Amino acid sequence: MTGIPNPMFNQRLDQLPAYPFPRLAALLDGLEPGQTPLVMSIGEPQHEPPAMITKAMVKYASLWHKYPPGAGTPELRDAIKGWLDRRYNLPDGMIDRDDHILPVAGTREALYLIATCVIPQDQPGPKPKVLLPNPFYQVYCGAAVLNDAEMVPLAAGPENGFLPDLDQIDIETLKDCRLFFLCSPANPQGSVASPAYLERIIGLARQYDFVLAMDECYADIYDREAPTGALEICATQGGKMDNVLVFHSLSKRSSAPGLRSGFVAGDAKIIKRFNALRSYCSATIPMPIMAASAELWADDAHASDNRELYRAKIDIAQEIFGNRFGFYRPAGGFFLWLDVGDDEAATRKIWTKAGVKVIPGSYLSITDKNGDNPGKRFIRIALVHDLETTRDGLTRIADALES
């Protein structure tokens, strides 16, 4: 009967906002592209993946018949530990490969599932809260809503450096917070949290006993300086990682999103519980892919080459846009976040005049209780193609916006 919930489904699914890409398809439905279509809406790296992936798959092909261990192989955890130590200059002994590292089948499922691990259920009092930047990676929202937590979006606009203003979070919200998602470098804005900012948010996590989930998947894609990581700050505090988890992936660093290979590292007691939860519900990384992943984490040269390609594309963007449309060089990541006034109108215009797909900023954000959507003025452009294609696409976009 109309209006009566169907008991077959989890009713919380109805609380989720529409996912960005079906919304984009609906927005452009029936509109003809003005030129040869080019997709710059999806953050799917198009750089050639390192050859070592294929070589490792062939070398370890005999392992396809083995069930992979949920906690990953010792070799993979060793490689991850080595990368963390090198990348963040961590002291000897801070990271233990068995206690502090958990490989996962891509960070999307891990970012979602961590909420199930750390958000308490069926407790008296106010609902637990999940804090997240706004705009945000949509998985954060799903993690909050489907675990019956109250989602608290924190505006991350230009007025506060595209990061949540920690001073604007009231004490009661912090007391009820159980999980705080933060992305640095940020998707979509490319902002990077400073050491002082990270010290502050880690301090709040420990003071109010919530879990800080640091999404650092773009950590090896940066413009000038390597972004500080949360574990780097923990190292300056004697190596204590209480309440802190970091999430990393090979999707962006190694242009290999199809591997579905990443890891979570940090607080040993949370890692232990998370591993127990995942043994009941999560896919594990196949053994040949774990072998390839270990080789990728052990090699920094390909990541450096990858970074140079993205830097060259930022140079092209700066040449084309200059000081128009609020252009700035993102400190990290591979997205442009352009101020176009009306995101949906600009997206339609770019498609019908230039044939380029971008994504409206409001589709990556949520309208807050005051009716404000911090993404409404912006579009996100993914710089994932080769240099020639990138130049062509950005030139078309600039011409369309100026027309």
CA distance 394 to 380: 12
CA distance 128 to 120: 7
Q: Are residues 179 and 316 in the same domain?
A: no
> Domain containing 385 — which CATH number?
3.90.1150.10
Within 8 A by CB and 6+ apart from 163, the residues are: 133, 156, 184, 186, 191, 193, 197
What percent of the chain lies above the pLDDT cut of 70?
99
Residue 81 tokens, joined: 């530990």
**pLDDT exceeds cutoff 90 at 43:** yes
Split at pLDDT 50, 70, 90, the class of 260 is very high
Q: Are residues 284 and 389 in the same domain?
A: no
CA distance 346 to 217: 29
pLDDT of residue 5: 67
Q: Are residues 288 and 365 in the same domain?
A: no
Mean pLDDT over 284-308 rounds to: 97
Q: Are residues 382 and 248 in the same domain?
A: no
Boundary of a domain, candidates 241, 273, 299: 299
Residue 212 main-chain phi, psi, to 5 deg: -95, 115
**pLDDT exceeds cutoff 80 at 2:** no
pLDDT of residue 1: 40
Q: Are residues 114 and 73 in the same domain?
A: yes
Residue 262 main-chain phi, psi, to 5 deg: -155, -165
Domain count, the chain: 2
Residue 134 tokens, joined: 């706004």
**DSSP secondary structure, 358-373, as one string:** -EEGGGGS---TTS--
Boundary of a domain, candidates 268, 299, 330: 299
Split at pLDDT 50, 70, 90, the class of 123 is confident
Which of helix, strand or coil describes residue 104? strand
Residues spanned by the domain of 219: 51-299
Mean pLDDT over 79-88 rounds to: 98
Q: Are residues 84 and 37 in the same domain?
A: no
**pLDDT exceeds cutoff 90 at 369:** no
**pLDDT exceeds cutoff 60 at 287:** yes
CA distance 44 to 222: 17
pLDDT tens-digit series, residues 46-63: 999 999 999 999 999 999
pLDDT of residue 8: 86
pLDDT of residue 7: 78
> Domain containing 175 — which CATH number?
3.40.640.10
User: Considering the domain boundaries, does residue 1 fall inside one?
Assistant: no
**pLDDT exceeds cutoff 60 at 331:** yes
